[in-house]
Amino acid sequence: MKNELTEKIKELTRQVRLPGVRKYLTEEINEANLKNLPYEDFLYHLLLKEYDLRLESGKKNRIRLADFPYRKYLEDLSVSDLPMDAQKRLKVLKSLDFIAQGQNVILAGSPGTGKTHLAIALGIKACLSGYKVLFVTVPLLINQLKESRSDRSLMRMEGKFEKYDLVIADELGYISFDREGSELLFTHLSLRAGRKSTIITTNLSFDRWEEIFSDAVMTAAMIDRLTHKSYLLNMGRNSYWLKKARDYYLNFQNP
């Protein structure tokens, strides 16, 4: 009779979507019987398992929905190999206070200096901390914006874009774009300015941004909005990944 009732309870948990209760029900019943726990203690521990499972599931879902191209964690970073500017700012960035304050982070430097790795690592930590994150390359974002304008769904996309706590816009400057793309990107990023955080990685210094926006006024306005109360990190010119590969090779040669 008890087993039959347990199965009925599990079936109800499927209907009301309580996977943690279903998963740990038998275990908690046995534990309660063994220790002669009060009903309140039994229920509390069972619901706590449900809560913990949902927290863990939420973290995994946020990381999945962020659409990172790969997973890198702050623990994977070799801090001593990062440019000095990044080393100095890493502690404050790891706190994620910039997200709570709606501040931007701009990582500027040559290819291979660890910009994307650092951006993804901060993004994953944000996901684990309960923030809603989106990773997108700038060329892909512009294509999506153009498509949304064509099928008249631009406003819906803008509304969705505004709701992310953190957007990582990768690879600004790797390719140039036309005036339509420039205007759409400017408008889209401006929606978040001063309210929600954006991390931008770029291989171009600010004095060269006009090369991709093709409009001096728009470039100046974009830089002004993105850099207001932002963290600007000079990621340098020396390749972070080349240094890591060289260290690996030397260690391999001299075990």
The model's pLDDT over 148-196, given as tens digits with 9 standing for 90+, comes to 999 999 888 888 888 999 999 999 987 778 888 888 988 888 888 888 9
pLDDT above 90 coverage of the chain, percent: 35
Whether 11 shows a pLDDT value over 90: the answer reads no
Nearest-angstrom CA–CA distance, 246 and 232: 28
pLDDT mean over 81-95: 89
Nearest-angstrom CA–CA distance, 194 and 137: 21
Whether 245 shows a pLDDT value over 50: the answer reads no
Beta-strand relationship, 231-236 and 105-109: parallel
What pLDDT score does 1 carry? 53
Dihedral angle of Cα 138, 141, 142, 147, to the nearest 10 degrees: 160
Whether 16 shows a pLDDT value over 80: the answer reads no
Among the listed ranges 19-23, 87-91, 134-138, 235-239, which one has the minimum average pLDDT value?
Answer: 235-239
pLDDT above 70 coverage of the chain, percent: 92
The more confidently predicted of residues 141 and 9 is 141
Whether 76 shows a pLDDT value over 70: the answer reads yes
Beta-strand relationship, 166-172 and 105-109: unpaired
> How many of the other CB atoms lie within 10 Å of CB of 72?
19
Say if CB 67 and CB 136 are below 8 A apart: yes
Counting other chains too, the contacts that 92-100 makes at CB distance below 8 Å and 24 or more residues apart are 92/231, 93/122, 93/231, 94/122, 94/125, 96/122, 96/125, 96/126, 96/129, 96/131, 98/197, 98/231, 99/126, 99/131, 99/165, 99/166, 99/197
Whether 233 shows a pLDDT value over 50: the answer reads yes
The model's pLDDT over 89-127, given as tens digits with 9 standing for 90+, comes to 999 999 999 999 999 999 998 888 889 999 999 999 999
What pLDDT score does 240 carry? 47
Average pLDDT of the residues of the chain: 85
Question: Which amino acid, one-letter code, is at 46?
Answer: L
The more confidently predicted of residues 41 and 128 is 128
pLDDT mean over 224-232: 87
pLDDT mean over 204-224: 84
What pLDDT score does 168 carry? 97
Whether 246 shows a pLDDT value over 80: the answer reads no
Model confidence band, residue 2 (pLDDT cutoffs 50, 70, 90) = low
What pLDDT score does 65 carry? 96
